[in-house]
């Protein structure tokens, strides 16, 4: 069964450094998402992406964050200048069709630790 993959599985970085988290969504999917989950807390929506542009973003997704689909397969989340509070598990997800209740297939996540 096709899966969403994410790299790296773990990332440790110094405060103020830039990080890029990578995701390969399921190949025929059209909608892509990033979520984060601070340890022990709920999953929080960051951003959705369709047709090479952001379709929606949350208040968490400020100017420090950006997303990109640089080629036909990868979907990246960049944090320009990491803060301690950015430490979390970041999940990528994808859905095959347009909005309206499609199942979101989550990747295994990248655990980001900012020191």
Partner 1 sequence: GQQVMQIPQYQHVQEGEDFTTYCNSSTTLSNIQWYKQRPGGHPVFLIQLVKSGEVKKQKRLTFQFGEAKKNSSLHITATQTTDVGTYFCAGRENSGGSNYKLTFGKGTLLTVNP
Q: Which of 7, 45, 69, 113 binds partner 1 (CB under 8 A)?
A: 45
Written as one string, the DSSP assignment of 33-70 is EEEEE-TTS-EEEEEEEETTEEEEE-TT--TTEEEE--
**Contact call for residues 93 and 104 (beta carbons, < 8 A):** yes
Closer CB to partner 1, residue 49 or residue 79? 49
Closer CB to partner 1, residue 106 or residue 113? 106
Cα distances (angstroms) measured from residue 34 to each of 19, 48, 80, 115: 14, 7, 16, 22
Q: Is 25 in the site for partner 1 (CB under 8 A)?
A: no
Place of tokens 């989550």: 106
Q: Is 66 in the site for partner 1 (CB under 8 A)?
A: no
Q: Is 42 in the site for partner 1 (CB under 8 A)?
A: yes
Q: What track of x and - describes contact with partner 1 for positions 80 through 109 (by CB under 8 A)?
A: -----------x-------xxx-xxxxxxx
Binding site for partner 1 (CB under 8 A): 31, 33, 41-45, 48, 50, 55-56, 58, 91, 99-101, 103-109
């Amino acid at each position: 069964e096709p899966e969403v993959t994410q790299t790296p599985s773990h990332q440790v970085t110094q405060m103020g450094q830039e990080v890029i988290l990578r995701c390969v969504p399921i190949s025929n999917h059209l909608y892509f998402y990033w979520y984060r989950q601070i340890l022990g807390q709920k999953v929080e929506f960051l951003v959705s992406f369709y047709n090479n542009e952001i379709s929606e973003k949350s208040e968490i997704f400020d100017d420090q964050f950006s997303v990109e689909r640089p080629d036909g397969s990868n979907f990246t989340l960049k944090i320009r200048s990491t803060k301690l509070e950015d430490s979390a598990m970041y999940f990528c997800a994808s859905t095959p069709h347009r909005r309206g209740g499609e199942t979101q297939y989550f990747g295994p996540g990248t655990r980001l630790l900012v020191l």
